[in-house]
Structure 1
């Protein structure tokens, strides 16, 4: 085992530095750019950065981000670039970029190249990949507010409830801070968990918020309920979904009778306590599935108790069995 770990360390420390072209355009979401590139910039081995960023715009000219900040590009987006990866952020300016034939040409050229070069989208940047046709037949996600636009690309396997997706060399993330999650996952794959953890600590973020978790963060609804008792109860369910959360157990934890508790859930969350618990458990299970854990362990750790109950819950939520869900989005 020590020999194997030593070999892995040797592989990671001998990595070639990867270069990433970062697409800039007017009205780009600045956090879609700064979040991932800051994560990549924090990936260091033996005092050497493992990624080099080059900022490009469609015409090589400066751009103005949606927040008003003016950004100077290093050069023009081009098929002649020899960088390893292309990162495509989102923002209001995506709508104009969708009409850029030259941008689509570059994306198609990169997708057709041999090797290990990646196409990485953040937020609505996935729509740019979809317009270029490189997401056809692939799982993908984007910001939930772009749901209507995704219907224009029927050949893409959209799941807007995911934080991120990856298949072969094409990666998408839900948007804004999830771009950091995706960058950390890529750093982990490229450089190993130690480097990824150091980068996460530098940014003061969680290392592994898995791609299977919900971008809607439904449990955050608990922060906006009308009473603190329900908020505390929701936080308990979210943090310990494996416990017994029957209606009686929930009522006892909240200090309410079952009828009153059910009325509070309907008032604040528009669902019954049982529906809420199942939703939390399904979301937890999705995250664990992306860790490649055995199905039975996922079912137990998520609070379903047995695999059959988890299968039925996935069928209710997504209309597919667990294995089908994982094959489409795993």
Structure 2
């Protein structure tokens, strides 16, 4: 059911060094939600002084207006990019953003734009996420409850996303809340993206994890686990496959993947099960194909990873 009785207005902040995809991704999703001639969302581009800026790719961007400290009825979207570090040193900008966040609109960030919200005090006491490469920067803001393994986090009127393409995920979640699942699905189909890549999913695809290690044996093992999660991946089996003893394998996993071997296998199986749930397979078949074998084991894994029962998850997303 579409809960929007009038169009939602969104100011998108532009600045020198902004990441163009952080801007274009969510904006295009909101534009695609204007289905059947109905203007559900209106976006307006603003800069600090109303003057043109250059994105980090060099493209010149011309705003519609200056960022105003008050804009009744307007949401505010802060994208990321190299230019974020410059914004962090502008007290006037941070004060304006803080005032805007205290108004009646929603506050959204993409990528390192969350650091601007943190510096402005908007995220104090809130759960939030940002790009994984900004881990060190997040430590400057201990009042924020950072969770960098999330794609997007929404808490009240404050919404943060991990960066780049996850701005689309955040926009889809907002569209679904505003306009209903049918509208969000139509937008996802238009953009050819996954509607079900939820905020609980890891920021990077698991099959890329092997690229974060310089060891060919570990990389090959990771690829096998990802492509064949249904096999018996006990610690001993993984160690034999990688040609290491179990203790060495566990140490290498912790160092390069930041999980124990068992934790990594469970994450892979959960992600595989999620994709199988989309095909409306019987739950016992999903448990077998994803490597859990036992349905109860799969239920417990979903509870650990998503905080909901498997049946609830399937109702919401499958």
Which TM-score bucket, shorter chain as reference?
Answer: 0.7 to 0.9
Shift of 1:193: 1.0
Question: Residue in 2 aligned with 1:278?
Answer: 263
1:1-330 superposed matches below 5 A: 8=1, 11-12=2-3, 15-114=5-104, 117-222=105-210, 226=216, 230=221, 233-237=224-228, 243=230, 245-247=232-234, 259-261=240-242, 263=244, 270-271=252-253, 275-282=260-267, 303=292, 305-306=296-297, 310=301
Classify 1:138/1:80 alpha carbon distance in 2 versus 1 (closer, same or farther; 3 Å).
Answer: closer
The superposition leaves residues 280-329 of structure 1 with CA deviations (integer Å, 9 ceiling, x where unpaired) of 4247769999xxxxxxx9xx789384499759988xxxxxx969xxxxxx
User: Could you tell me whether the CA contact under 8 Å between 1:19 and 1:53 is conserved in 2?
Assistant: yes
Classify 1:148/1:283 alpha carbon distance in 2 versus 1 (closer, same or farther; 3 Å).
Answer: farther
Classify 1:248/1:55 alpha carbon distance in 2 versus 1 (closer, same or farther; 3 Å).
Answer: closer
CA RMSD of aligned residues (A): 3.7
Q: CA separation in 1, counterparts of 2:22 and 2:14?
A: 10
The superposition leaves residues 184-235 of structure 1 with CA deviations (integer Å, 9 ceiling, x where unpaired) of 1111111111111111111111112111111133332357885897576333
Q: How many residues are aligned here? A: 285
Instruction: Point out where structure 1 has 5 or more consecutive residues left out of the alignment.
Output: 1-7, 252-257, 290-296, 315-320, 324-330
Shift of 1:25: 0.2
Classify 1:280/1:75 alpha carbon distance in 2 versus 1 (closer, same or farther; 3 Å).
Answer: farther
Classify 1:189/1:229 alpha carbon distance in 2 versus 1 (closer, same or farther; 3 Å).
Answer: same
User: Could you tell me whether the CA contact under 8 Å between 1:141 and 1:174 is conserved in 2?
Assistant: yes
SS state at 2:260 partner: helix
Shift of 1:40: 0.7
User: Could you tell me whether the CA contact under 8 Å between 2:125 and 2:145 is conserved in 1?
Assistant: yes
Q: CA separation in 1, counterparts of 2:177 and 2:303?
A: 33
Classify 1:93/1:70 alpha carbon distance in 2 versus 1 (closer, same or farther; 3 Å).
Answer: same
Shift of 1:113: 2.1
The superposition leaves residues 252-296 of structure 1 with CA deviations (integer Å, 9 ceiling, x where unpaired) of xxxxxx6234549978x932999345224247769999xxxxxxx
Instruction: Point out where structure 2 has 5 or more consecutive residues left out of the alignment.
Output: 275-282, 309-318
TM-score (norm 1): 0.74
Classify 1:35/1:79 alpha carbon distance in 2 versus 1 (closer, same or farther; 3 Å).
Answer: same
Structure 1, 195-204 or 227-236: larger mean CA deviation = 227-236
Structure 1, 62-71 or 200-209: larger mean CA deviation = 200-209
User: Could you tell me whether the CA contact under 8 Å between 2:70 and 2:103 is conserved in 1?
Assistant: no
The superposition leaves residues 32-79 of structure 1 with CA deviations (integer Å, 9 ceiling, x where unpaired) of 001110111100233223111100000100000000000001000002
Shift of 1:244: 6.0
Shift of 1:81: 2.1
